[in-house]
Amino acid sequence: MPNVAVIGAQWGDEGKGKVVDWLASRADIVVRFQGGHNAGHTLVVGNQTYKLSLLPSGLVRGKLGIIGNGVVVDPWALLAEIARVQSQGLRVPPDMLRVADNAILILPLHGALDRAREAARGDARIGTTGRGIGPAYEDKVGRRAIRACDLAEPETLSAKLDELLLHHNTLLRGLGAETFEKQALLDSLLEIAPKILPYVEPVWERLDAARRDGRRILFEGAQAAMLDVDHGTYPFVTSSNTVAATAASGSGMGPSAVGFVLGIAKAYTTRVGSGPFPSELHDETGRQLGERGHEFGTVTGRPRRCGWFDAAMVRQAVKVGGIQGLALTKLDVLDGLDQLQICTGYTIAGARFAHLPAAPGAQAAALPIYETIDGWRDSTRGARSWADLPAQAIKYVRRIEELVEAPVTLLSTSPERDDTIMVRDPFQG
């Protein structure tokens, strides 16, 4: 049986948490492989709602969760999240959660720099969460980052903080922000080390053994393909690679271990923060989609921008992300609309484009080319088979398949985990 990698096929917030939770019943291990606590997954299980940022969603299913080396980890945020879900009755002991020893740590100075930069940008701000993810990734490639394994070596921590503070305090002073003292940071890291280190190990060894034993591994992506630092709407992107290829490098496994790539897409489109959004709606329909879909960021609480399904964008995500099948979510939000529109391409300065170009000016100028399709009156909410769906809803799904050049393998019709139509089990390849 192949492993499965789940990635977003739009700008995030597509409902990956529910899909990963649903697929985790068929998996043995769930791995987060990129991003930080700027991503959020909401899981509704009976009368409990779990809001996860760093913890792999499979923990709710009682499956082993692994935070891979591609994730940047705020250790204080991780412990707070563990405490929060444990207060809801979910156990997260070290034998259920493992953290890569070579994962980069986010420190308070990273968040301070993130927020100071956004403030300095003014109206040109990118729309980051201000949680330090970008600066932490910068330190990683700058070879000055503190990693989880460093918590076990106080002398290493002390030496690394000297270099880190030389870099960050210079930037913070230049931005007019408060600087950090070494001893206070060192003390806080040494205080938290005994709480984090029981979770830390070289996870690549565990994953290699699991692969050899034929255990099923589910790779859980954060954000989405169009927020990928290389392939997304740069610079309005996240600071990591979000495509499925990162599941290998971000967990310590070879590319052949990734298996089936499942892309998650809403039946419409949303985006949080700044950046181009050709199919965005600023009218009553856009407001209605936001209200029906409860479109607020899991992490930030910010209202999401809403618009029609952008097939051209998802088609691009399918190609660069290696997506082999789609999980289409929130189909029920479109119930009762007389007509729907699907963006099939763009016009930019009078020229037609089948995909968004890389240049930011062209992205900002892109206008959608729409195809209109009739809506449906009957409800799709809670449907668990094709027979439960209105014929026009099925037509809408089939048209999306044609336009994005990928089959819909899962269909979600409510936040409840069992309100899912499975066309093809991703673990069957």
Active site residues: 13, 41
Nearest Cα neighbor of 136 from 221, 51, 77, 84 is 77
DSSP 3-state of 102: coil
- Structure-token match 């043995």, residue found: 28
Task: Return the structure tokens found at 408.
Answer: 């819909």
Phi, psi of 271 (to 5 degrees): -150, 140
Q: Give dist(CA 411, CA 171) in Å, integer.
A: 47
Residues 6+ apart with CB under 8 A from 191: none
* Cα torsion angle, 364, 370, 375, 379, sign: negative
Nearest Cα neighbor of 323 from 425, 225, 217 is 225
Q: Give dist(CA 279, CA 184) in Å, integer.
A: 48
DSSP 3-state of 40: coil
Q: Give dist(CA 104, CA 67) in Å, integer.
A: 11
280 pairs with which residues across the strands?
307
Alpha helices in 72-153, H assignment, sequence order: 75-87, 108-121, 133-141
Contact 318, 284 (CB under 8 A): no
Q: What Å distances lie between residue 400 and 267, 371, 415, 421, CA to CA? A: 9, 11, 21, 16
In angstroms, how far is CA 63 from the centroid of its own chain?
Answer: 20
Task: Return the structure tokens found at 237.
Answer: 């992107």
Residue type, position 21, single letter? D
Q: Give dist(CA 49, CA 47) in Å, integer.
A: 7
Task: Return the structure tokens found at 125.
Answer: 């701000």
Residue type, position 164, single letter? L
